[in-house]
Amino acid sequence: MAAKTDILKMLSDHREAFVSGQELSEQLGLSRTAIWKHINELRKAGYEIVSVKKSGYRLVEKPNVLSEAEIQSGLETDILGQAIQYKDSVKSTQEVAHQLAREGAKEGTIVVADEQTGGRGRLGRPWHSPKGTGIWVSLILRPRIPPQQAPQLTLLAAVGVVKGIREATGLKCDIKWPNDILSHERKLVGILTELQADPDQVNSVIVGMGMNVNVKETDFPAELREIATSIGIEAGQEVDRAEVLQKILRHTEILYREYLREGFRFVKLLWESHAVSLDRIIQARTLQGTIVGRAIGLSDNGFLILEDDTGKRHEISSADIDLPSA
């Protein structure tokens, strides 16, 4: 797979020119025959690669796929995505990632699928994950933090997603506490963070992301069409799924490294700058009851702070949030 990835990266980096077979051979340490074999495999996978005698190969068109080679060929990270488990179809990337983490998978391993048949969000709710239209991915992290701090990684991932989508597509998105990415107050992305931990330490954090990328409005079940959207719908065009994932992984890794060095405060400030719910009266439905108040920010541990009409402040650690019309 590494050789195919390297060939694809060289061709992608020189889209306007031919790359000779000799140059590919010398740069990658492969025989001309091996280069030709890998080129044909890429063609079978949907890449349009032209070859001209004495000129070499040129990548003309690539499929909108999330293969290991496509993701890694444009990756700009040192940790996230350096190991990839790609699945054409899987019940849940979270389940696969949990198993890999238990088996000792290294930090930064990602599980990505073209389709989920049993995707889930918070509280076990089903997540619509049609084939070939989205990014269904789970990241394995191994931070040295106490378990009570792990929910902060949901907020960190939300900032990474917003920044990655913005860089890849120009689309400006909002964050709804704790785990939703919105555009015009319709849901684009959901984030689910789960722990494998001992009482005093985290063994692994599995960060799952379900992203509606090129889902069309007619692809959504009728009950979701008023509340869900996709990056493609909002951008007005089909979006390169691999590029979106590459940018999200890059920004998430930058934030994660800084978080491990400096703590949560800078993530808190970034999250608040993208939050759609701040300075609005919202309704938080918790297991203990419903709280109505003005959202004024995050606490230092990542809880949502609501101020009710008596001036009392409530720190919300887990709740469903209802936003009134803006």
Looking at per-residue confidence, does 288 or 94 come out higher?
94
Residues 6+ apart with CB under 8 A from 154: 178, 179, 191, 192, 193, 207, 302
Which tens digit of pLDDT belongs to each residue from 272-281?
Answer: 999 998 889 9
Looking at per-residue confidence, does 185 or 97 come out higher?
97
Question: How much is the pLDDT for 177?
Answer: 87
- The stretch 248-261 carries a mean pLDDT of 98
SS3 295: strand
Q: Which secondary-structure segment (H or E) carries 195?
A: strand 186-198
Which tens digit of pLDDT belongs to each residue from 131-159?
Answer: 889 999 999 999 999 998 999 999 999 99
Ramachandran sector of residue 124 (left: φ over 0; alpha: ψ -120 to 50; beta: rest): left
Dihedrals φ, ψ of 191, to 5°?
-125, 135
The answer to whether 115 and 90 are in contact (CB under 8 A) is yes
- The stretch 301-311 carries a mean pLDDT of 92
SS3 content of the chain, % helix, strand, coil (to 5): 35, 30, 35
Indicate the residue type of 87. Answer: K
User: 0.75 exceeded by the pTM?
Assistant: yes
- The stretch 87-109 carries a mean pLDDT of 95
SS3 253: helix
The answer to whether 150 and 201 are in contact (CB under 8 A) is no
